[in-house]
Amino acid sequence: MKFTTAAILLFASSCTSAFVVTNSNKNVVSSFSRLNAITVDPNKQQTDDVIDRSMRFVDEPGSDSASFQPTEGERPALTRNNNDQVWVPQRARPRRNRKNAAMRAMVRENIVLPSNFIYPLFIHEEDENVAIPSMPGCERHSLDSMMKEVGEAYELGVKTFVLFPKVDDALKTNLGVEAYNPEGIVPRAVRMIKDAFPESIVCTDVALDPYSNQGHDGVVEDGKILNDVTINQLCKQAVCQAKAGADVVAPSDMMDGRVGAIRDALDAEGFTDVSILSYTAKYASAYYGPFRDALDSHPGFGDKKTYQQDPANGEEALLEAALDSAEGADMLMVKPGMPYLDVIRRLKDNTNLPIAAYHVSGEYAMIKAACEKGWLNEKDVVLETLMCFKRAGADIILTYYAKQAAQWMKDDGLL
């Protein structure tokens, strides 16, 4: 039985707070508004479109479901208001702040903007780009293509970049000396970007792994990664990058004391304005696999557990954060991102420096794979993920989705 328009009007005018539900999901509403044509005044019938808030006419009389009424009995779960409407007496109703898009926007606690992103770019010496199979949509760029990518991202408001080079095997040594060749690929790329986009922020990775014939972030002796010797090389690398015009150097090696040493090296050479974004809590993570595919930088032996942090440890991240802050880091990074949101929050609450989260290659690959299978909606899941970094306490997000996310935000009129 259907309501006529007249009946709906009659019902609406007979009830001071008539409420018309124009539902797009009939099933949800109809499950608790089953029509009872026998006992009910036609003006009071429940339909899919109009819910009688008294809820007196929901069930067939005598049916099992009719035997329990939440507003009745010795200990009613619900009560009734002055208008005989079922009522859960409560003053606070958090849903009021969610009632429409404008209200939600007004009370929103966090906003992600393209200016929060750092866009990692893989570069190589070749003339053509090479796709990275485990990171669909990402490529190793020729320097020309890198410039194009930078320009497109810049146009969308992504103005900060970090460069990761794939280096020819012939140039790799244990001491990683190519890392501070002023004519190496990274210094050249930095100069190109800064020439064309002087207002951009170019970050460089400070670590030996792309230049190491051992596939490690440091100098190796007898199967051990040497701390202080490595820092000697990192200081040279950082100064070389600063000379090329890097705005931010980002030590990702996890040697002890490298932030302070790099700060002193930069300052001694006159680069007091070059910032240090420290990979403060960088974990020995399986999520870096696709990145190592991209740069052909898998460890030559063993793993990175003697320098990168144990994923089991959270307190240790606070120790690293305290040291990096004291040594002069400007920004602290947690890496990977999504599985380490608790670490991001702990650093945010325990330091006064901006926090960066690295949404790493394996996290990117997981989203891509699920989306390729049609199991997740890529845009929704990516924008949610980036927002979650913000909510967890990240001010800065390194993500391979930077350009794409900025494009989505623009398409949605959010910018």
Interface with ligand PBG by CB under 6 A: which range of 4-12, 165-173, 286-294, 347-355?
286-294
Residues of this chain, 181-240, that bind ligand PBG according to CB under 6 A: 205, 207, 209, 217
Give the helix/strand (H/E) hosting 236.
Answer: helix 227-244
70: its two tokens: 């939440």
Catalytic residue among 166, 172, 282, 368: 282
The nearer residue to ligand PBG, 51 or 388, going by C-beta atoms, is 388
Q: How many CA atoms lie within 13 A of 42 on its CB side?
A: 10
Contact (CB, 8 A) for 368 and 138: no
Q: What are the residues facing 124 on neighbouring strands?
A: none
145: its two tokens: 């293509």
The nearer residue to ligand PBG, 141 or 304, going by C-beta atoms, is 304
Output helix, strand, coil percentages for the chain, rounded to the nearest 5: 40, 15, 40
Interface with ligand PBG by CB under 6 A: which range of 12-20, 109-117, 270-278, 284-292?
284-292
Q: How many CA atoms lie within 13 A of 400 on its CB side?
A: 26
The nearer residue to ligand PBG, 211 or 271, going by C-beta atoms, is 211
The nearer residue to ligand PBG, 204 or 361, going by C-beta atoms, is 361
Q: How many residues bind ligand PBG (CB under 6 A)?
A: 11
Decide: is 361 part of the binding site for ligand PBG (CB under 6 A).
Answer: yes
The nearer residue to ligand PBG, 50 or 344, going by C-beta atoms, is 344
Q: In the complex, what is the shortest distance from the CB of residue 135 to ligand PBG, in angstroms, rounded to a whole number? A: 8
Burial (Cβ within 10 Å: 0-12, 13-18, ≥19) of residue 335: buried
Residues of this chain, 9-68, that bind ligand PBG according to CB under 6 A: none
The nearer residue to ligand PBG, 139 or 209, going by C-beta atoms, is 209
Dist. CA 215–CA 177, nearest whole Å? 14
> Which is nearest to 386 in space by CA: 369, 403, 411, 372?
403
Question: Is the torsion defined by CA of 330, 334, 335, 338 positive or negative?
Answer: negative
Q: In the complex, what is the shortest distance from the CB of residue 288 to ligand PBG, in angstroms, rounded to a whole number? A: 4
Backbone phi, psi, residue 100, to 5°? -155, 175
Q: How far is CA 159 from the centre of its chain?
A: 17
Decide: is 136 part of the binding site for ligand PBG (CB under 6 A).
Answer: no
Q: In the complex, what is the shortest distance from the CB of residue 192 to ligand PBG, in angstroms, rounded to a whole number? A: 21
Whether 368 sits among the annotated catalytic residues: the reply is no
Of 202, 355, 360, 394, the one binding ligand PBG (CB under 6 A) is 360
3-state secondary structure 342-372: HHHHHHHHHCCCCEEEEECHHHHHHHHHHHH
Let me know the angle formed at the C-alpha of 338 by 336 and 344, rounded to the nearest 5 degrees: 75
Which residue reads 């339909």 in tokens? 47
* DSSP letter (8 states) at residue 375: S
Whether 243 sits among the annotated catalytic residues: the reply is no
Which residue reads 């020819």 in tokens? 168
Decide: is 139 part of the binding site for ligand PBG (CB under 6 A).
Answer: no
Residues of this chain, 288-347, that bind ligand PBG according to CB under 6 A: 288, 291-292, 304
Catalytic residue among 335, 348, 390, 403: 335
DSSP 99-162: SSHHHHHHH------GGGEEEEEEE-SSSS-EE-TTSTT-EEEPHHHHHHHHHHHHHTT--EEE
The nearer residue to ligand PBG, 247 or 363, going by C-beta atoms, is 363
Q: In the complex, what is the shortest distance from the CB of residue 257 to ligand PBG, in angstroms, rounded to a whole number? A: 17
Residues of this chain, 242-271, that bind ligand PBG according to CB under 6 A: 252
The nearer residue to ligand PBG, 56 or 292, going by C-beta atoms, is 292
| Active site members | 282, 335
Q: Which residues bind ligand PBG (CB under 6 A)?
A: 205, 207, 209, 217, 252, 288, 291-292, 304, 360-361
